[in-house]
Amino acid sequence: MLSKVRERLMNIKFLRRILNWGRAWSLWSVHLETGCCGPEDMGRACARFDTERFGTLPFPTLRECDLLFITGLVTKKMAKRVRMIYDQMPDPKYVIAIGECAATGGFYWDSYSVVQGVDRVIPVDVYVPGCPPRPEAWIQGIKMLQEKIKKEGIDEK
């Protein structure tokens, strides 16, 4: 019953826009580092580039987060944990793949223990290239994700 009411309400464009706007500007990110883009995660979160301006706050508890940064390579051992973490996050959840290793495996095309692209494990929304990407590129990735969220559930005609 409740869910039906919710669905009805969400079909109203005006309300949907408000919801999307709220989601887009409160993307808290999970504190998970998988590869060498880790220090840049700190670089973009600290004072100089300060992604908190876009609502992206690194947060230790993944139960309250909706954004997962895959910072670099994902090994086969880590892939299971990444999947587990992704499953534990509440809906709606978004993933940004940082760096070339997360996108395609990059350097480790002949490695025996690296997953060739994180999209084999979890769905990815935005790919940010670079090794590691500069904080400006991270900001662009976050901005692009926000654009995507703002269009969610609204038919483009």
Partner 1 sequence: MEDRVVEDVKASFPDDVLEIDVQRRGRVSISVKRDRIYDVGLFLRDKLGFDHIASVSGVDYIDKKEFEVVYHAWSIDKKILAALRTRIPRDNPVLKSLVDVWEGALYHERETWEMFGIKFEGHPNLSLLLLPEDWEGIPPLRKDFILPKRPQE
Partner 2 sequence: MKLSMGPQHPVTSHFRFILDVDGDAVLNFEWDVGYTHRGIEKMAENRIYIQNIPVVERINSYCDAIGTTLGYVEVVEELTGIEIPERAKYLRVIAAELNRIASHLYAVSLVGISAGFETMLMWTINDRELILDLLVKLSGQRITYTYPTIGGVRWDMPDGFKEDALKRLDYLEKRLEDYYKMMAWNRTFQMRFKNVGILKPSDAVKLGIVGPNLRASGVKADVRKDEPYEVYDRFDFEVPTGKNGDSFDRASMRLKEIEQSIVILRQALKDIPKGPIKGSPKGSKIPPTAPRGEAYSRVESARGEFGYYLVSDGKSKPYRLKISTPSFRNLPALPHLCRNVPLGDIPVIFITFDYIPLDVDR
Partner 3 sequence: MVLSILRPFFLGLYHVFKRTFTVKHPYETLKPPERHRGRVMLNMDRCIGCNSCVNICPNKALTLVEFNGRKLPQYNAGRCCFCVLCVDICPVLALSMTHEVEYSVYKKEDHIYPPDRFSQPPEPIKGKIVTVKTLDKKFGVKHG
List of residues contacting partner 3 (CB under 8 A) = 47-50, 53, 100, 103-104, 106-107, 109, 117, 119, 124-131, 133-137, 139-141, 143-144, 148
- 13-46 in b/e form (b: 16+ CB < 10 A) is eeebeebbeebbeebbbbebbbbebbebbebbbe
Instruction: Select from 46, 90, 92, 151 the one that contacts partner 2 (CB under 8 A).
Output: 46
Interface with partner 1, residue 156, by CB under 8 A: no
Spell out, one character per residue from 51 to 90, where the chain touches partner 2: x when CB under 8 A holds, - when not.
---------x-x----------x-x-xx--x---x-----
Which amino acid, residue 98?
A: I
Place of tokens 């940010």: 128
Taking every pair of Cα atoms in the chain, the longest distance, rounded to a whole number of angstroms, is 53
Q: Which runs of consecutive H residues, i.e. helices, occur in the chain?
A: 2-11, 13-24, 38-45, 76-88, 99-104, 135-150
DSSP 3-state of 86:
helix
116 contact, one of partner 3, partner 1, partner 2, none, CB 5-8 Å limit per kind: partner 1
Instruction: Select from 25, 49, 57, 104 the one that contacts partner 1 (CB under 8 A).
Output: 104
**Which residues are within 8 A (CB) of 24 and not within 5 positions of it... i.e. 6 or more apart?**
55, 145, 146, 149, 150
Instruction: Select from 6, 8, 13, 109 the one that contacts partner 1 (CB under 8 A).
Output: 109
Please say which residue, 75 or 140, places its beta carbon nearer to partner 2. 75
Q: Other CB atoms closer than 10 Å to residue 73's CB: what's the count?
A: 24
Interface contacts to partner 1, rule CB under 8 A: 75-77, 104-105, 109-113, 116
What does the binding site for partner 2 look like in residue numbers (CB under 8 A)? 30-36, 38-40, 42-43, 46-48, 60, 62, 73, 75, 77-78, 81, 85, 107-108, 110-114, 131-132, 134
